[in-house]
């Protein structure tokens, strides 16, 4: 089907982000375009998805996508993320879901100030351990508190499952040298990182600009993933390692796949990221201002608010 000469969609014609399906996962199918719908075809038949109603399209193993389908997703204000099975590995992504730079600007501004960076680091810790008051703690004190709490969580699950726990110890280059519990933890964390990375890029944030972690191209991924480890990856890893009959790597991936999918981590993660960066006063945490975006970006001005783009300012002094 040819789309030569098709007029690009305007923001006002798009489905409100609040009314979209946040994430759609597809695997083992051919993804194509039929008019303004995305189609997914496998041996069972073809399913049509209105492109403008999809926020993020997650493409799992065995998918093939056409150029026309990608063009339609971009035109519809959606993004495409290539992931592992059920979204547990991040590989690459297309255009961001966001139609403003609001979140990444907030992220960059916050990380550029010691005061705001510390405030967000404290907020992250409070989300993980809400029973502690960390409002006056320094980063050094936060790291100490975190280390103590995480070690305690490891010990509690070791006692619960009867596993001998000697500490977190693994070799990134040699999987086989790790004991079952460390293998399970590594596999579970990798699955979590994949999902979190997908959400971060879909929202238009930078995976590299972390608040607790720094100096790595996935620093912010590690920051956000840490919010959920005590709840998701640590207990699952200990449960799997306690059963010596299981294939640790395979079972961990399957267990995490179901836990992350069933626990609706994707919309929860999106909510948490936006709340951290934009604050508690954000009314609509899972949407962006599709209807307020002009076709041409504004221009930065060092003395005033941003000025309109697409205007000749040649007469200005």
Residue 213 annotated as part of some ligand binding site = yes
Rounded CA-CA distance 275/281 in Å is 8
Nearest to 234 by CA among 149, 177, 145, 108: 149
75 is an annotated ligand-binding site residue: no
Give the bridge partners for 56, in sequence order: 23, 79
| Residue 124 and residue 213 in contact, taking contact as beta carbons nearer than 8 Å | no
> Which bin fits 86, alpha (ψ -120 to 50), beta or left (φ > 0)?
left
197 is in an annotated binding site: no
Which of 101, 59, 95 lies closest to 75, judged by CA? 95
Q: Which residues pair with 37 in a beta bridge?
A: 34, 50
Alpha helices in the chain (DSSP H): 67-75, 102-111, 114-128, 139-161, 180-202, 219-225, 233-241, 248-262, 265-278
Q: Distance (Å, rounded) from C-alpha 19 to C-alpha 221?
A: 27
Residue 93 and residue 201 in contact, taking contact as beta carbons nearer than 8 Å: yes
- Report the binding-site residues: 146, 213, 226
- Report the binding-site residues for Mn(2+): 146, 213, 226
């Amino acid at each position: 089907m040819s789309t030569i000469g098709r007029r690009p969609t305007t923001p006002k014609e798009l489905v409100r982000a609040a009314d979209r399906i946040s994430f759609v996962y597809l695997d083992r199918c051919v993804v194509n375009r039929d008019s303004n719908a995305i189609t997914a075809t496998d041996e069972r038949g073809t399913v049509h998805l209105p492109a403008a109603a999809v926020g993020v399209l997650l493409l799992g193993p065995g998918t093939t996508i056409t150029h026309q389908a990608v063009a339609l997703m971009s035109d519809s204000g959606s993004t495409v993320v290539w992931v592992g099975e059920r979204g547990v590995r991040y590989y690459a992504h297309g255009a961001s879901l966001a139609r403003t730079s609001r979140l990444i600007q907030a992220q960059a501004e916050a990380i550029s100030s010691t005061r705001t960076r510390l405030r967000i680091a404290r907020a992250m810790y409070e989300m993980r351990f809400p029973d502690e008051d960390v409002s006056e703690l320094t980063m050094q004190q936060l790291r100490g508190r975190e280390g103590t709490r995480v070690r305690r969580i490891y010990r509690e699950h070791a006692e619960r499952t009867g596993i001998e726990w000697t500490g977190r110890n693994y070799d990134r280059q040699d999987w086989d040298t790790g004991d079952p519990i460390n293998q399970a933890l590594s596999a579970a964390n990798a699955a979590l990182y994949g999902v979190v990375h997908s959400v971060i890029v879909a929202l238009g944030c930078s995976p590299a600009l972390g608040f607790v972690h720094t100096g790595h191209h996935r620093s912010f991924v590690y920051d956000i993933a840490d919010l959920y480890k005590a709840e998701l990856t640590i207990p699952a890893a200990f449960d799997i390692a306690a059963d010596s009959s299981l294939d640790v790597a395979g079972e961990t991936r399957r267990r995490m796949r179901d836990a992350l999918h069933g626990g609706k981590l994707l919309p929860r993660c999106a909510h948490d990221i936006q709340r951290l960066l934009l604050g508690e006063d954000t009314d609509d945490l899972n949407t962006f201002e599709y209807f307020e975006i002009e076709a041409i970006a504004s221009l930065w001005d060092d003395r005033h608010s941003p000025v309109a783009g697409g205007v000749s300012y040649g007469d200005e002094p």
